[in-house]
Chains A and B, each alone.
Chain A
Amino acid sequence: MTSKVHKNRRRFLQQAALGSVLATGAMSLPIVSRSESSEFPDSLPEWMREPGGDFSNYGQPSTHEQQVIRWISANPDAPGNGVSWTPLHDLQGTITPNGLHYERHHNGVPKIDPNKHILLIDGLVEQPLQFSVESLMRYPMESRICFIECGGNSNSGWRSTPIQAKAGYAHGLVSNTEWTGVPVKLLLEEAGIKKQALWVIAEGADAAGLNISIPLEKLLDDALLALYQNGERIRPENGYPMRLVLPGWEGVLNVKWLRQLRLVEEPIMSRDETAQYTELQTDGSARQFTFINEAKSLITSPSLGMMLPDSPGIYQISGLAWSGRGKISRVEISTDGGESWTDAELHGPILDKAFTRFSLAWHWQGEYAVLQSRATDETGYVQPTREALVSQRGRYGFFHYNAIVSWEITEEGDINHVYGL
């Protein structure tokens, strides 16, 4: 036993010595000129005949994938007020890479120093408390894979003519992430919740000071004070150093750069729960506190911007479905604009309030086709047609558009966005 350890140690020292020699350059690898008689002159790709690139401290996508980007749409007079869309049409699986998570900022991404940031919990509590970021890192954490969707996602669907944008650039204000953080419930209970408390005003530390009212019930249910995004600390544009994650509830409530939770009796009636994120109906009244993102699905491939090269050919129809009410139980696909439907395969794991990938192999014979997907969630809610949604809500609701999306396939294999057949 002892001798073996000794031997290994000896070998290690020998290798270490060799390494140090190499590192100082006293001995270097000989430059080998490739023999003309090499058995593999150009038949092997160059990346097999030359050493590869260096290590990197933080990896980046291949230079061949530089077109896979968030699409930015912001106000030129106020460049921090706008959105960037997740390129859902370029992605597979269900987890959104951190650099591609959608953004909605009301006045830019704050550069927060985590050492100067605190979370204050006050209002109707027994004891107002402040927490440093450092102290929150010591709390027990939970991880939760779920989507976050902006209430304004897909709002171009309310327009009278179908927008000709790629799938992600019309419907990509939604992303799916493994969030890790402290259950908000633990922190609220530490402060001691008074009986009168029914709502909580959450406030962000950005230059819009975004404030919004959230039912206390939700924060005590499944809300996370998220500190990590897909395993690494939350990106600045997603709320660094901390944000709320309210699974299934519209994006604006998942307050980024969270600085305060104030427990109150009634909603504050802030701008983002009255003037915005409310849905005007045809009779002039508006739906308010429409928190849940209802079931929705989208075919991401084939979709606008792609084409079908072979006619006839076999294509893998693939897409995403999600519901703020729970798990996706079924996705159906139509290739004839909703005349007939076939069940798609759901790829597991099928998680609560999270993206579910679906797919179906399609034998295209070169005919005119309209591809649609229709999601059903575990509560039995079925994604509506655009016609049904518009007849129910009118065309000026702006938020919470979740109708079936239709991709027209021409006989040439081109793809357009249409509103049904």
Chain B
Amino acid sequence: MSMAYKLLLLILLFSSYAMANPVYQKLGIPADEISQQAQWNISIPPSGKGLPQGQGSAQKGAEIFAMQCAACHGPQAIGGSAEPLMGEVGSLGGEYPEKTVASYWPYATTLFDYIRRAMPINAPFSLTADEVYSLSAYLLSQDGIIPANSTLNQDSLPKVIMPNRDGFIPVYPIP
């Protein structure tokens, strides 16, 4: 085997190896510290892990709703330009199904997660944890999912059983 041929073989071997296993410098920087910071821990799972301290009552939530939410969602949380939030529990299998928070959402933790990160739409992340607990309590109390005089906090919110808790059929993984 000539030297040139050996060299060629080596080059070919290396180039095919390089395509399957790209050669590159790993440039990720350890991020243990920021991974613990609040601004990187916004998502709240059904277990409630990561919910902040604080609490809020349905009564207080009604006041905040009128100030912060009614303009888009309507004074009764239905009929505005934004999605309806209350009512219609039990309508999903009927002739005129309506997907509201009360009728459709499977987890109360989603309500906290979504209000905190996305609402009010003109000022996301502007509400305090107490205000988000209050709004959650107000919305859930309107359809009797929790009693009208309820207070919610990081322990009680994940325990709320939503009416449509078992209404979802996962299609993934695909058979």
Contacts and interface: CB of A to CB of B under 8 A. Distances in A.
Contacts of A208: 117-118, 124
A277 to B, nearest CB: 11
Contacts of B32: 127-128
Interface stretch (B5-13, B58-66, B92-100): B92-100
Interface string A280-310: 1011111111111000000000000000000
Given A208-B117, A208-B118, A280-B99, A270 B43 contact: yes
B119 to A, nearest CB: 10
Interface in A364-397: 396
B104 interface: yes
Contact of B45 (A75, A131, A269, A291): A269
B105 A275 contact: yes
Interface of A: 75-78, 80-81, 106-107, 120-122, 127-131, 135-136, 138-140, 186-187, 190-191, 201, 203, 207-209, 211, 215, 217, 260, 262, 264, 266, 268-271, 274-275, 278, 280, 282-292, 396
The 6 closest A-B pairs by CB, nearest first: A284-B93, A129-B28, A209-B117, A284-B92, A289-B172, A135-B27
B67 interface: no
12 contacts: A77-B72, A120-B40, A128-B34, A128-B35, A215-B173, A268-B45, A269-B109, A286-B104, A287-B168, A289-B170, A289-B171, A291-B172
Given A78-B72, A284-B92, A284-B93, A122 B28 contact: no
B127 to A, nearest CB: 13
B45 A264 contact: yes
A274 B34 contact: no
Interface in B143-167: 167
Given A269-B109, A275-B105, A77 B28 contact: no
Given A211-B43, A283-B93, A138 B169 contact: no
A190 B169 contact: no
A131 B118 contact: no
B17 interface: no
A292 B173 CA distance: 11
B113 A129 contact: no
Given A203-B43, A280-B97, A284-B93, A75 B81 contact: yes
B41 to A, nearest CB: 9
Given A186-B24, A269-B109, A275-B110, 19 more contacts: A78-B82, A107-B121, A122-B40, A127-B32, A128-B30, A129-B29, A131-B27, A135-B27, A268-B44, A269-B45, A269-B107, A270-B110, A271-B105, A275-B99, A284-B93, A285-B93, A285-B167, A286-B104, A291-B171
Nearest to A121: B28
A260 B171 CA distance: 25
Contacts of A207: 118, 121, 124
A208 B32 CA distance: 25
Contacts of A80: 121
Contacts of A286: 92, 104, 167-169
Given A208-B118, A268-B45, A77 B82 contact: yes
Given A107-B118, A107-B121, A130-B34, A260 B22 contact: no
A282 B35 CA distance: 43
Interface in B41-61: 42-46
A144 to B, nearest CB: 15
B132 interface: no
